[in-house]
């Protein structure tokens, strides 16, 4: 046999093997009595750069599913019974293309009834083309950039309020502090932002407010940086060269930790310091100790929100996962899964069109998020208030804004040592 | 003759598969990826395998093709017309980077290509007005899965056919000479810089066309997903697994790569401990250490051993 013939034969064997290996039987269904289980799937970053957060999402989804299954499952009106939920989770390795492929697999191989979303913005952007293509309802608690929801996708919903709103919430708080004389007016801001849709929204929010209220704000530096950076020293030197009195950064957790370490090493000090949605995380406190004191953050959730539902969630979480802290990375995906199950109950079936319609009109009042209210806008994204927190010495975190949720007063300006 | 018949049977099998199994969406999706990766790996192999110029920055050409398709489709071009346009843009880009890069040899060239790939990603990231920056570009709708399947099969077949023709042509022999000993090739009258630049041009064109299929399938292109270093690494891994420098090796590598990945990602035990990546690592280590000619080399060895045993038996008799 000639060499090239042998090579061709080998390639053919491999192709045949591959096809056999991936083929699997279709999911059995019982038409009259309804399905034996409701299949819900997600791809999460369980390894790679976002693995730390991916672990929170997995734990939260599993808790929500366990909770509903302990009650017998999701009540589906058309079948007059409760049906248990089966959760399928894959690891997308923090890679957008892998994430998209896994959602495709969930759609056409696992035949899911609905998707739960992944984390973070870039992965959510890549994966949301699948629910749109297959018209499968998708709810996420890990993508906040407005870009995700401005593509006209009809089955995509997100419980994270936009990053522009996050910036506005911080501005509202800053204006309150300016009125009390705790911050200078105008606040000269050095704005540094991760070069993602997330970061773009942050700087867009701050720019819009600066334009609207020039007497309150002045942007003296506006610089982007690459996600998952290792050395922010040159960027911080640019910050140092300005006369800014506020350091406004939008960063993911790993960048927040690296940047704040280098910020302190560079001897920088500002009257107001924020990393956008990052600040109170235990991982940052563990890594940096007292260097995270007096950092402000606007987040979608905090365990100190004075609300009975939040306290109940805190207890449940502590009991289920005593070693994982209660952070927004836990609360939002939990509430995401709960929202989907409520939508299925309201739809009365797992029919994809009906569940999507139920999500579009959903109105949940007893949730754990600030304001307690879940309702999606026409584009599928939710608008909800943020809570502004401040890290204090001794590992304390207080909510300083809005007044209705506050658990302490802001220490401002940031003390110089 | 046998080869042609075998090839015809297989191609026919792949051609009629969507007709006999129109609802096998998942299998069609996996085969789509297999053909796409096969085309991508074969494209890389023209430069990395035939010419011996190992590039770790080839994702740049895939990305240019993907962006070209996404942007031109958004501008109203018919999808089929965006593929050659993407290939052409990628090939033109190769003319920009090839000549300076080919002043370097061996590991220095390989290191330079990492820089080229990363620089291209950063250009895409920061040229927001054209590429959408970090937000990327979303395509409005994909053709039906069967159409995608045939497009991918067609691109794969054309790429492998072109690679086979190149390998057997005068130009292919020149590339083989460059790979074996560039100095000796020069003394034989081969202009090594031009030969390498031509190989890169062809490789980039093929990869740019494959990038169009990538965009059509994924419906979303962003700097990190298309220009990422991990994509470049995948392009190197597949020919190494299958058999670098051969015609069908990259195709075999792509088939193994796709099937293994599909199986490993879905295995809850492996996924839980992230062992799926370790399996690829072990496979790669094993091949590099024990059979640098890849799985096709192992296959050859087994066939030869079987044939020599048969010969010995017949001599004894």
Give ipTM to 2 decimals: 0.85
Instruction: Tell whether B88 lies on the interface with A, counting CB pairs under 8 A.
Output: no
Closest CB to B265 among A10, A102, A199: A102
In A, minimum Cα distance to B2 occurs at A5
Give B30's contacts in chain A (Cβ within 8 Å): 18-19, 22
Average pLDDT over residues A355-363: 96
pLDDT above 70 covers a percentage of chain B that reads: 99
Residues of chain B with Cβ-Cβ distance to A102 below 8 Å are 265
B265 touching chain A per CB within 8 A: yes
Contacts of A47 in chain B (CB under 8 A): 274, 277
- Report B:194-223 residues touching A (Cβ under 8 A): 218-220, 222
Residue B294 above 70 pLDDT? yes
User: Who has greater pLDDT, A14 or B312?
Assistant: B312
Residue B292 has a pLDDT of 84
Confidence of residue B275 (pLDDT cuts 50, 70, 90): confident
Instruction: Specify which of A352-361, A403-412, B295-304 reaches the highest per-range mean pLDDT.
Output: A352-361
pLDDT at residue A7, rounded to an integer: 61
Nearest-neighbour CA in chain A from B157: distance (Å): 13
Percent of the residues in chain A that have a pLDDT greater than 90, as a whole number:
82
| A194 vs A223: CA distance, rounded Å | 9
Pairwise CB contact (< 8 Å): A10 & B231: no
Choosing among A2, A4, A7, A12, which should be mutated to test the B contact, i.e. which has the most B CBs within 10 A? A7
Which chain B positions have a beta carbon within 8 Å of A199's beta carbon? Answer: 134
Range of lowest pLDDT (A5-19, A125-139, A302-316): A5-19
Q: Nearest-CA distance from A307 to chain B in Å?
A: 35
Split at pLDDT 50, 70, 90, the class of A26 is: very low
Contact A197 B258 (CB under 8 A): no
Contact B300 A104 (CB under 8 A): no
Q: Is the pLDDT of residue A19 over 60?
A: no
Q: Tokens for B202, please give them.
A: 């062809």
Q: What is the mean pLDDT of residues B51-79?
A: 95
Q: Assign B283 to helix, strand or coil.
A: helix
pLDDT of amino acid A18: 54
User: In this complex, do B259 and A22 lie within 8 Å of one another by their Cβ atoms?
Assistant: yes
Return the pLDDT at B262.
86
> Once rounded to an integer, what is the mean pLDDT over residues A106-132?
94
pLDDT at A25 over 50: no
User: What pLDDT band is residue A2 in, cutting at 50, 70 and 90?
Assistant: low
Lowest mean per-residue pLDDT among A70-84, A126-140, B5-19: B5-19
Answer yes or no: do A4 and B142 touch at CB < 8 A: no
Q: Are B36 and B152 in contact (CB under 8 A)?
A: yes
In this prediction, residue B302 carries a pLDDT of 85
Smallest CA–CA distance from B277 into chain A, residue: A93
pLDDT tier at A238, thresholds 50, 70, 90? very high
User: Would you call A8 and B266 a contact, using CB atoms and an 8 Å cutoff?
Assistant: no
The predicted structure's pLDDT at residue A220 = 98
Q: What is the pLDDT of residue B93?
A: 97
| Most confident segment among B1-10, B138-147, B242-251 | B242-251
Q: Do B7 and A226 touch (CB under 8 A)?
A: no
B267/A contact by beta carbon, under 8 A? no
A81 band by pLDDT with thresholds 50, 70 and 90: very high
Q: Indicate the number of domains in chain B.
A: 1
Domains and CATH numbers, chain A: 38-161+306-360 (3.40.50.2300), 164-299+387-405 (3.40.50.2300)
* Least confident window among A167-171, B2-6, B260-264: B2-6
Distance from CA of A5 to the nearest CA of B (A): 6
Which of A277-281, A354-358, B193-197, B273-277 has the weakest average pLDDT?
A: B273-277
pLDDT in tens, A258-288: 999 999 999 999 999 999 999 999 999 999 9
Of A14, A90, A200, the CB nearest to B252: A14
Q: A161 with A382: CB under 8 angstroms?
A: yes
Which range of residues forms the domain containing residue B149? 2-316
User: Which residues 108-147 of chain B have a CB within 8 Å of chain A?
Assistant: 122, 125-126, 133-136, 138, 141-142
**A226 and B125 in contact by Cβ < 8 A?**
yes
End-to-end CA distance of chain B: 31
A19 vs A92 pLDDT, higher one: A92
Question: Minimal Cα–Cα distance from B273 to chain A, Å?
Answer: 9
Question: What pTM value is reported for the model?
Answer: 0.87
- Subunit contact B299:A7, Cβ cutoff 8 A: yes
The C-alpha of A360 sits at a distance from chain B's nearest C-alpha, in angstroms, of 22
In the predicted model, what is the mean pLDDT of chain B? 91
Of B3, B242, B259, the CB nearest to A8: B3
What is the DSSP secondary structure assignment for residue B50, as one 8-state letter? I
- Kindly report the CATH number assigned to the domain that includes residue B279: 1.10.3470
B229 Cβ under 8 Å from any chain A Cβ: no
Percent of chain B clearing pLDDT 90 (strictly above): 69
Region B176-196 average pLDDT: 94
Contact B34 A23 (CB under 8 A): no
């Amino acid at each position: 046999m000639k060499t090239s013939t042998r090579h061709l034969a080998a390639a053919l064997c491999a192709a045949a093997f591959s096809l056999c290996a991936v083929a699997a039987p279709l999911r059995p269904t019982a038409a009259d009595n309804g399905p034996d289980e409701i299949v819900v799937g997600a791809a999460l970053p369980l390894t790679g750069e976002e693995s730390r957060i991916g672990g929170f999402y997995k734990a939260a989804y599993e808790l929500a599913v366990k909770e509903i299954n302990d009650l017998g499952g999701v009540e589906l009106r058309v079948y007059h019974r409760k049906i248990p939920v089966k959760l399928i989770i894959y690891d997308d390795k923090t890679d957008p293309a892998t994430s998209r492929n896994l959602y495709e697999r969930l759609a056409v191989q696992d035949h899911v009834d609905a998707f739960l979303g992944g984390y973070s913005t870039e992965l959510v952007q890549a994966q949301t083309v699948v629910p749109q293509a297959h018209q499968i309802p998708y709810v996420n608690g890990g993508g906040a950039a407005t870009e995700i929801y401005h593509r006209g996708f009809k089955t995509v919903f997100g419980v994270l309020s936009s990053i522009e709103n996050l910036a506005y919430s911080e501005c509202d708080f800053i204006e309150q502090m300016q009125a009390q004389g705790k911050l200078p007016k105008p606040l000269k801001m050095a704005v540094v932002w991760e070069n993602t849709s997330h970061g773009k929204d942050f700087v867009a929010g701050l720019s819009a407010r600066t334009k609207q209220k020039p007497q309150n704000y002045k942007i003296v530096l506006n610089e982007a940086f690459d996600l998952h950076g290792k050395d922010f020293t040159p960027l911080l030197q640019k910050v140092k060269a300005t006369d800014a009195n506020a350091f406004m950064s939008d960063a993911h957790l790993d960048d927040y930790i690296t940047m704040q370490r280098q910020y302190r090493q560079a001897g920088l000090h500002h009257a107001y310091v924020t990393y956008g949605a990052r600040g109170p995380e235990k991982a940052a406190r563990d890594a940096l100790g007292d260097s995270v004191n007096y950092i402000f953050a606007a987040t979608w959730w905090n365990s100190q929100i004075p609300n009975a539902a939040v306290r109940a969630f805190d207890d449940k979480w502590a009991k289920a996962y005593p070693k994982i802290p209660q952070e927004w990375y836990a609360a939002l995906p939990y509430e995401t899964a709960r929202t989907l199950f409520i939508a299925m109950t309201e739809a009365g079936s797992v029919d994809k069109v009906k569940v999507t319609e139920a999500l579009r009109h959903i109105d949940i009042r007893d949730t754990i998020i600030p304001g307690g209210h879940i309702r999606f806008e026409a584009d599928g994204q939710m608008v909800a208030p943020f809570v502004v927190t401040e890290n204090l010495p001794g590992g304390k975190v207080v909510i300083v804004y809005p007044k209705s949720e506050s658990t302490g007063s802001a220490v401002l300006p940031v003390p110089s040592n | 003759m046998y080869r042609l018949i075998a090839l015809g049977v297989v191609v026919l099998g792949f051609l009629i598969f969507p007709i006999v199994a129109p609802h096998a969406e998942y299998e069609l999706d996996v085969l789509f990826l297999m053909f796409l990766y096969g085309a991508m790996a074969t494209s890389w192999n023209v430069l990395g395998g035939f010419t011996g110029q190992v590039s770790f920055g080839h994702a740049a050409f895939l990305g240019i093709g993907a962006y070209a398709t996404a942007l031109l489709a958004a501008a109203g071009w018919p999808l089929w017309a965006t593929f050659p346009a993407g290939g052409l843009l990628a090939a033109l880009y190769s003319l920009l980077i090839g000549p300076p890069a080919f002043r370097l040899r061996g590991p220095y060239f390989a290191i330079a290509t990492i820089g080229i790939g990363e620089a291209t990603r950063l250009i895409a990231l920061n040229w927001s007005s054209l590429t959408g920056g970090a937000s990327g570009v979303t395509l409005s709708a994909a053709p039906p899965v069967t159409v995608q399947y045939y497009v991918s099969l067609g691109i794969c077949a054309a790429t492998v056919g072109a690679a086979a023709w190149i390998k057997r042509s005068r130009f292919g022999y020149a590339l083989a000479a460059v790979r074996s000993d560039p100095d000796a090739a020069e003394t034989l009258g081969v202009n090594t810089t031009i030969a390498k630049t031509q190989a890169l041009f062809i490789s980039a064109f093929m990869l740019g066309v494959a990038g169009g299929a990538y965009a059509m399938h994924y419906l979303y292109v962003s700097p990190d997903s298309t220009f990422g270093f991990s994509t470049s690494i995948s392009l190197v891994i597949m020919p190494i697994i299958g058999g670098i420098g051969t015609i069908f090796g990259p195709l075999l590598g792509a088939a193994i790569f796709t099937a293994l990945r599909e199986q490993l990602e879905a295995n809850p035990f492996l996924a839980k401990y992230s062992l799926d990546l370790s399996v690829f690592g072990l496979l790669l280590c094993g091949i590099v250490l024990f059979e640098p000619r890849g799985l096709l080399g192992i296959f050859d060895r087994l066939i030869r051993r079987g044939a020599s045993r048969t010969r010995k038996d017949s001599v004894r008799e």
